[in-house]
Structure 1
């Protein structure tokens, strides 16, 4: 089994969304919110592709847990060891921080410099620096193990309260039977 940064992000937002995505039930292509985020990521920093590198890297499954990790980092500064992540959201979320920490963890596991990360929120005109210390790494390892258990389950996790699901790309899928 391989866990991606997207799945970890979904784990911290909604276990059901993570499970569905991991089982190839994808709804992002139907979402205007997802499309807007992709557009912001592609157009906000057009000069970035010249200065930074796109990196796809993995960690093979460890024997004890059997969990492999895959990271696709859009913008990485190899000279300074800085991971950049652009988020559309108008709200800062723990899931954003965890996603950048996941990238840093995978880079470090491959002996690649990962000093810190920067999350950029163009709509807020703000940035947030992300560190990965021992405590953060410990949390990350717990989340990875828990997420892989949930994904490995035969049963899809239950729904969150409807009020938390309004802007989710899976909203219609999860709530279509609701009257």
Structure 2
């Protein structure tokens, strides 16, 4: 049984093919300079956070019997604030969905989770992410859709090539197609 995690929720909002590949053990992020740069920004931009906030791993059993998990880089437990750092605002919808998933899991575990903050240090912006009670059902729909996609017998089709240029799966999906 596969576990639904925050990465899968994020990828769901970008590309269903990448989601299926990633969930089925075909990962390409280790070959991507873009992914590596994002990791460095996340680790190096706010070193002072480690002193006052904690990294948190959280799991929950979902209503459909699946497990869900997340590793939150910075969680301010006192104020119930999830902090996420991203390289750029280019995939903002996916970033928001990921933070909503964090808030959802925290609340499912009875943890105070007021809101999230997505920091974009390269453009010096911060976005607040709220998850009102009525939107919890939206997160559950994402989880159901992710579950359905990862259980498909075959890989979903590619997106238009113009949307794939900076993806770590580009060569995998488009070899010999240019």
TM-score normalised over the length of structure 1: 0.96
Following superposition of structure 1 onto structure 2, how do residues 1-179 of structure 1 map, counting pairs within 5 Å? 1-62=2-63, 65-91=64-90, 93-179=92-178
> How many residues get paired?
177
Deviates more, 1:95-104 or 1:135-144: 135-144
Question: By how many angstroms is 1:135 displaced?
Answer: 3.6
Moved over 3 A (4+): none
Question: By how many angstroms is 1:68 displaced?
Answer: 1.3
Deviation readout 1:16-40 (Å, 9 max, x if unpaired): 0011000010000000000000000
Structure 1 alignment gaps of length 5 or more? none
d(CA) in 1 for partners of 2:127 and 2:50? 21
Deviation readout 1:107-151 (Å, 9 max, x if unpaired): 110000100000000011000000001342121111110110010
What is the RMSD computed on CA atoms of the aligned residues?
Answer: 1.1
Question: By how many angstroms is 1:93 displaced?
Answer: 1.3
d(CA) in 2 for partners of 1:32 and 1:3? 25
Structure 2 alignment gaps of length 5 or more? none
Question: By how many angstroms is 1:91 displaced?
Answer: 2.6
CA contact (8 A) 1:2 1:68 kept: yes
